[in-house]
Amino acid sequence: MAYKKWINACDNQKDLIERLTRKFSRPVAMFLAARGVEEELVEQFLNPKLGDLSDPYRFPGIQDAVARIWQVIENGGNIMIHGDYDTDGVTGTALITTVLRKNGANVFPFIPHRFEDGYGFTPDSLEKALVGMNGECELLITVDCGITSNEAVVAANKRGIEVIITDHHEPSSELPEAMAILNPKVYDDLKDLQLLAGAGVAFKLCHAFIKYGRANNIGGFSTDLKTFLDLASLGTVADIVPLTGENRVIVKHGVEVLKKQLRPGIRSLFEVAGLKGKFNPSDITFRLAPRLNAAGRVGDATEALHLLLADSIVDAFQAARRLDEYNKIRQGKELEIFNEAQKQIHETIDLDNRRSILVAGHEWHQGVIGIVASRLAREYNRPAIVLTIMNGTAYGSGRSVSNFNLVETLRSCSDLLERFGGHPMAVGVGLLSKNIEKFAKAFEVETKKHFSAEDMELTVDYDGELELEDIDDGFFSFLERLMPFGHGNTKPVFRFNDLEVVKCYAVGKGHCRGMLKSKSNHSINFIAFNRSVNEVTTGIFDVLATPELNDYFNEPKPQLHIHDLRLVY
């Protein structure tokens, strides 16, 4: 197993830790300090309230946008909601669709087909969506797309359709000629909102819509936006945006709504995912989102939308079972392509001298190459692009690591691309297959300019050094207040030195568990996934681990979930 560099996130934070330990235990103080939570922000971090959400009217043009929505509702006009086919886009589309329908709107949601329509809001997707509306549409709202859809907005305007864009992707130099652009990345004074997911921006629009309706006495009085935080949190966690700031508020409260399973679609999704008992954001990441995404990857994302909009539990269960089957198909195709990509890397790429990964295969399933790119980026700790070649054209997905900006890098070699776009951490690309080799070389050259050999080192961050006795009942009772855990607010990881392995035995396939003891004779159970008993032999170790409660047999017992360890002697 490759050696990892251990990085103490609390280095240079001694003064802050000292101040925080006046109010909190040492483990909690270290956790907060490692995340840069200053004293004056601790209460807001530990108790994120819905009142902490900022005024949606901060978005330029949003009042005019929601005023227009209310006007179209009053006139009985048709509104199109044009989303995207991933979980973020589908949940945001379901969110706006449901809120507007509850307030009397004639709403026609549309999700493009990944293979037939391609990504985003385009002139072709506009025409296809209009077929379902008999060509009659007054207003179009995009969700999780549209910020670079200049041609599509022009096409809509020519038809007399006004466009409101809600998006969170990187804008290009020329903005679309929409009546309103609700994307925090467009406005410098909305920097605190620039980490919102597409569903988060959609929630902002709904907040402004209800606020305007109530203030002007025209509607929204019976709409409780808190009950829509389940959809907003699903999209937020699934899109892997940092769970800080307003995202933390959305997910903290959204998880509580998800637990109630108020929607038939959510209840059915929980059922097919086998979710019972405790629920947390990691269940969104590993159980719910993959099933919602699977529809768009190997089927039709509209089925995921139908699930979330379902009024009947019978219809919802049928849709959820289909998504579950799609997910099984997705898993099989993903494993097949991942293995082929691994073989290609080992045969054609000199990893000792390469900073980037680019692999390509004929007719690789376009719906899963993004997941494969994510796995390769994690496996080799460097930017990875996976291409599928079809009829002379290569379509691909890229995933990044650390703080490496994929979008900026692609801009530097865009002359070889037919199209590209996305986030700094995740992109989509298209190019002629004859240019793959040239692009691979150009991408490597540009990557080397901003991504050093040191950046490729495998690292693991931890929140400071503790003794086993620091992990007491008080810490575990406080743990829930540190949630939700996820991207940007990971579970606590601490370093424990000079622990003796006094017991170790195998569990499952390639895992082990046992007991550790400190020099002061404090002991605790441990679990180590993907480590054999041979790796955790008897001896003295330094350990990086997450303290947690093991609920096996409904008797919570403290244990350390080991992430890495080093043999001392």
The token pair at 163 is 């466009």
The per-residue pLDDT for range 471-499, each reduced to its tens digit, is 999 999 999 999 999 999 999 999 999 99
Instruction: Taking residues 110-125, report their average pLDDT.
Output: 93
Q: 348 and 95 in contact (C-beta within 8 Å)?
A: no
Q: Is the pLDDT of residue 365 over 70?
A: yes
Q: Is 534 exposed, middle or buried (0-12, 13-18, 19+ CB in 10 A)?
A: exposed
Reduced to 3 states (helix: H, G, I; strand: E, B; else coil), residue 522 is coil
pTM of the model: 0.92
pLDDT in tens, 171-195: 988 999 999 999 999 999 999 999 9
pLDDT tens column, 500-526? 999 999 998 899 999 999 999 999 999
430 closest CA partner among 119, 86, 85, 89: 119
What's the pLDDT tens digit per position in 217-275? 999 999 999 999 999 999 999 998 999 999 999 999 999 999 999 999 999 999 999 99
Q: Return the pLDDT at 6.
A: 96
Contact present, 240 and 195 (Cβ < 8 Å) = no
The phi and psi torsions of 307 (rounded to 5 degrees) equal: -60, -50
Q: Where are the alpha helices (DSSP H) in 47-132?
A: 62-75, 87-102, 123-131
Q: What is the mean pLDDT of residues 318-330?
A: 97
Q: State which fold the 349-456 domain adopts.
A: Diaminopimelate Epimerase; Chain A, domain 1 (3.10.310)
Instruction: Give the residue extent of every domain in the chain.
Output: 58-221, 349-456, 461-567
Q: Write out pLDDT tens, residues 526-535.
A: 999 999 999 8
CA–CA distance, 249 with 171 (Å, rounded to integer) = 26
Phi, then psi, of 361 in degrees rounded to 5: -145, 150
- What's the CA gap between 543 and 301, in Å, rounded? 43
Query: Three-state secondary structure along 190-232?
Result: HHHHCCCCHHHHHHHHHHHHHHHHHHCCCCCCCCCHHHHHHHH
Please report the pLDDT score of residue 115 as a whole number: 87
Sequence-distant (≥ 6) Cβ neighbours of residue 61 within 8 angstroms: 179, 180, 181, 182
Three-state secondary structure of 113-133: CCCCCCCCCCHHHHHHHHHCC
- May I ask the CATH class of domain 461-567? mainly beta
Peptide bond into 547 cis (omega under 30): no
Q: Write down the architecture of domain 58-221 according to CATH.
A: Alpha-Beta Complex (3.90)
The count of residues in the chain is 569
| Residue 186, amino acid | V
